[in-house]
Amino acid sequence: MSDTPKTAIIGSGLIGCAWSVAFARGGCTVALYDQNTAAAAQAKDMLIQLASELEQADMLNGQKAADIVGRVSIADSLESALSGAVHVQENVPEKLDIKKQVFAQLDALAPRDAILASSTSALLPSAFTEHLEGRNRCLVAHPINPPSLIRAVEIVPAPWTDPEAVDRCATLMERIGQKPIRMTREIDGFIMNRLQGALLQEAFRLVADGIASPEDVDTGLRDGLAPRWALMGPFETIDLNAPAGVRDYVARYGGMYETIAAGQRETRDWTGDTLDQIDESCRARLPLDRIPQAQAERDSRLVNLMKHLQQHTPKT
Amino acid sequence: MSDTPKTAIIGSGLIGCAWSVAFARGGCTVALYDQNTAAAAQAKDMLIQLASELEQADMLNGQKAADIVGRVSIADSLESALSGAVHVQENVPEKLDIKKQVFAQLDALAPRDAILASSTSALLPSAFTEHLEGRNRCLVAHPINPPSLIRAVEIVPAPWTDPEAVDRCATLMERIGQKPIRMTREIDGFIMNRLQGALLQEAFRLVADGIASPEDVDTGLRDGLAPRWALMGPFETIDLNAPAGVRDYVARYGGMYETIAAGQRETRDWTGDTLDQIDESCRARLPLDRIPQAQAERDSRLVNLMKHLQQHTPKT
């Protein structure tokens, strides 16, 4: 692969811009394309903002925001964006028809050996790649937003995706400093939304069953479980929570979790009274018209947190 | 309540010592008792170590470690420990017989209006308080270890616990800077181990079904979901992930989570091949004999992280 492999980013919303910054930070040249020319024209501002925030947080590997933005060009046609690209990252709206149409274009126009990756969080790759000639190079590379800040990326093959395409995508992600999660096959929710979904089902269950308030369930994750999880995953966590590691942990606590699981088989209705209670709790804590401000504050706190975690992660 | 309410801590292991530091930091005087006099004699060293780490991390509200340790006395009898205490925090081994025996002693000897709280993570309060005369003031106050660092505390009533006892316990916890979670009734796993259990069941399921490796599941939580959760709980998180808040989020994504949940009803065997694979993965990352060192590193990183989070939490 070239020292400065070219990547094409399709769709210039927040996710497309954040991917552009992530690939450019990792040494790629980036062609960013949006069929909405007005949106594309605004992308430079968002790129500058994203890169400047990361520069201030010292998260550009010593580079300047201007260096990063300088490696991103706004392409004036899909053809020019794709020309010479080794990796194409699609970020168009989450509608099946649009994904199908865009992937057909990408497969027709991109270099034969380019990886075609979708950022979709909700659609399985098989749903929009089946009939493409180059379907074996198509996959999902799903980030947690924004990928310029959060490193995990799920790489999800369709049944016909070439394992070598998964490998090449994962290798590129590692090269730019992302943390690829290689899935062996597609499954609803991929990895991260399945983990989040399992936890959310229990959170709704606890409220629906009147065990604790939504505020208190939030406290249990935020001020209890999550700090440790920001340092280590579920298996790493339990591996350190018994003297002889994970095997010892399962011997000691497996029975407790079996008992708990027996009460977690049935889901609860997420609407109706339960949703009313959660909505009331959220609105008492944050009026609806302050959501945009709270999102901006969260993003700013997340930049600080990721800077902290990066600076304090052991180099092993 | 007095300006410096007295608390009695029963059991001088890590949890008892960490509770002693938490109560002393919060302005309480603390009497620490262990029936094993050799253990009690060693407690001062652990108190000094815990308090010093927090002083270095600027997590003693401007106090010195010596101030904190100076507020903790090692009691030479259970009677003297309990004398005048408004709150008793029990931290003896997690064996039902021992808990029953200790709670009978506490109920007989503690002041009539003292709250009797157990740190148990696995036993329901009804299991060891039913036949006590003062059972209505007994409850569980379960921390995430160590409570000197992690603020969430689950307050779990038995069916006969006076709601006023829950209130008084929660008020004291808030006063010393902990984050109480008020449960309305006891349930296996309380809140936090139920949330963790739900997530662990999915983590084991993903490995058992061959969807991803243990390392990659760890990546999904550590480098994907958890940083945001260290800033906000599950409901706060989804409330900010749709333009019109949690109600909007459920309308948009509730269907996706229903689909995911349909594949999460059955648990997987946590032993056998699945455990072999997870154990192999954990041991490849961390040899068994390095677990104590990794625990120490984790604790040190957790101190740094909690300092960061405390310094960057909005004052609302």
What's the mean pLDDT in B221-236?
A: 98
Cβ atoms of A224 and B152 within 8 Å: the answer is: yes
Query: In Å, how far is A138's CA from the nearest CA of chain B?
Result: 18
Task: Give pLDDT, residue B24.
Answer: 98
Distance separating alpha carbons of residues A116 and A139, to the nearest angstrom: 6
pLDDT digits over B153-171, tens only? 999 999 999 999 999 999 9
- Does position B303 have pLDDT exceeding 60, yes or no? yes
Interchain proximity A220–B191, CB inside 8 Å:
yes
pLDDT digits over A9-31, tens only? 999 999 999 999 999 999 999 99
Task: Give pLDDT, residue B310.
Answer: 92
B41 contacts chain A (CB < 8 A)? no
Residue spans in chain A of domains classed CATH 3.40.50.720: 6-182
Task: Give pLDDT, residue B41.
Answer: 87
B193-285 CATH fold: N-(1-d-carboxylethyl)-l-norvaline Dehydrogenase; domain 2 (1.10.1040)
What's the mean pLDDT in A187-193?
A: 98
From chain A, pick out residues whose CB is under 8 angstroms from the CB of B174: none
- Higher-confidence position of B215 and A314: B215
Interchain proximity A202–B198, CB inside 8 Å:
yes
B42: closest CA among B2, B14, B79? B14
Distance separating alpha carbons of residues B149 and B302, to the nearest angstrom: 8
- Does position B214 have pLDDT exceeding 80, yes or no? yes
Task: Give pLDDT, residue B2.
Answer: 78
Distance separating alpha carbons of residues A7 and A237, to the nearest angstrom: 36
A14 contacts chain B (CB < 8 A)? no
- Does position B95 have pLDDT exceeding 70, yes or no? yes
Q: How far is CA B96 from CA A308, B19, B89, B160, in A?
A: 42, 21, 16, 19
- Name the one residue in this structure whose structure tokens are 């709790």: A281
Average pLDDT of chain A? 96
A62 contacts chain B (CB < 8 A)? no
What's the mean pLDDT in B187-191?
A: 98
A96 contacts chain B (CB < 8 A)? no
Residue spans in chain A of domains classed CATH 1.10.1040.10: 192-235+265-285
- Name the one residue in this structure whose structure tokens are 């991260």: A192
Task: Give pLDDT, residue A1.
Answer: 67
What's the mean pLDDT in A77-92?
A: 98
What's the mean pLDDT in B237-241?
A: 96
Distance separating alpha carbons of residues A225 and A185, to the nearest angstrom: 29
What's the mean pLDDT in A304-311?
A: 95
- Does position B211 have pLDDT exceeding 60, yes or no? yes
- For residue B229, give the nearest of A229, A240, A264 by CB distance: A229
pLDDT digits over A142-184, tens only? 999 899 999 999 999 999 999 999 999 999 999 999 999 999 9
pLDDT digits over B21-32, tens only? 999 999 999 999
**H-helix or E-strand spanning residue A204:** helix A192-208
pLDDT band at B316 (very low <50, low <70, confident <90, very high): low
Cβ atoms of A176 and A27 within 8 Å: the answer is: yes
From chain A, pick out residues whose CB is under 8 angstroms from the CB of B228: 144, 150, 298, 302
A192-235+265-285 CATH fold: N-(1-d-carboxylethyl)-l-norvaline Dehydrogenase; domain 2 (1.10.1040)
Find the residue in A nearest to B200 (Cα). Answer: A234
pLDDT digits over B116-141, tens only? 999 999 899 999 999 999 999 999 99
- Does position A316 have pLDDT exceeding 60, yes or no? no
Task: Give pLDDT, residue A249.
Answer: 97
- Helix, strand or coil, per DSSP, at residue A90: strand
- Does position A99 have pLDDT exceeding 90, yes or no? yes
- For residue A245, give the nearest of B179, B219, B291 by CB distance: B291
Cβ atoms of A218 and B232 within 8 Å: the answer is: yes
Cβ atoms of A1 and A115 within 8 Å: the answer is: no
Query: In Å, how far is A77's CA from the nearest CA of chain B?
Result: 31
A182 contacts chain B (CB < 8 A)? yes
What's the mean pLDDT in A220-233?
A: 98
| Cβ contacts of A53-62, under 8 Å, gap ≥ 24 | A53/A300, A53/A303, A54/A21, A54/A25, A54/A148, A54/A149, A54/A303, A57/A303, A57/A304, A57/A306, A57/A307, A58/A307, A58/A311, A59/A149, A59/A303, A59/A306, A59/A307, A59/A310, A60/A25, A61/A25, A61/A177
Distance separating alpha carbons of residues A231 and B40, to the nearest angstrom: 32
Q: How many CA atoms lie within 13 A of A197 on its CB side?
A: 24
User: pLDDT > 70: what percent of chain B?
Assistant: 99
A282 contacts chain B (CB < 8 A)? yes
B6-182 CATH fold: Rossmann fold (3.40.50)
Task: Give pLDDT, residue A314.
Answer: 76
- Does position A295 have pLDDT exceeding 60, yes or no? yes
Task: Give pLDDT, residue A315.
Answer: 64
Residue spans in chain B of domains classed CATH 1.10.1040.10: 193-285
- Does position A43 have pLDDT exceeding 60, yes or no? yes
Cβ atoms of B227 and A287 within 8 Å: the answer is: no
- Does position B243 have pLDDT exceeding 70, yes or no? yes
Task: Give pLDDT, residue A114.
Answer: 98
